[in-house]
Structure 1
Amino acid sequence: MEGLNALDKIDCFGDICPVPVIKLQTRISSIEEGESFMMVVDHSCAIEHMREVLMKEDLDWEIDEVMNGVWEVTVSKR
């Protein structure tokens, strides 16, 4: 559908650090203005490293623990 931007979802369930961080960095390198993506992560160590990466980028992002031990990381480029 024209005009709708589907949220790209990257499943990192079961991936241990540094795999989710590498996936994050790879996706960040190709994100276009106006795009968003979400990563689902279940490893707390990865969340801390992802936060460090995101703080260095000019992106909007949010990390939500949606269930005990499961996080959704949403990233958007302005």
Structure 2
Amino acid sequence: MKTIDCLGDMCPIPILKTRKELKSLSSGDTVKVVTDHSCVLESVMSNFKKYDISYKEVINGVWEIFIVKP
């Protein structure tokens, strides 16, 4: 699983990083996006609707977003 560190990054940087990484993945592969901005979580959910997305808040204000390429 590839991890994208987006701590401190504001939109649209995390979306651009994620889009670039997803292009290199095969079907069924997972990418983990780590962010400390709730707006990134919302943007990922709206920009990657065709992907299987789950997330968890690992510590207060830090999310791990898991995106599985279909």
Asked whether the two chains share a fold, i.e. TM above 0.5, the reply is yes
Q: Which runs of 5+ in 2 are unaligned?
A: none
RMSD between aligned residues = 1.4
1:22-77 CA-to-partner distances (Å, cap 9, x unmatched) read 1122222222112111010111111111110122x2x2220211111101011112
Identical-residue share of aligned pairs (%): 37
Aligned residues: 70
- Using the alignment, how far apart are the partners of 2:69 and 2:42 within structure 1? 21
Task: Please point out which of 63, 68, 75 is paired with 2:60.
Answer: 68
Q: Which runs of 5+ in 1 are unaligned?
A: 1-6
Instruction: Give the TM-score taking structure 1 as reference length.
Output: 0.77
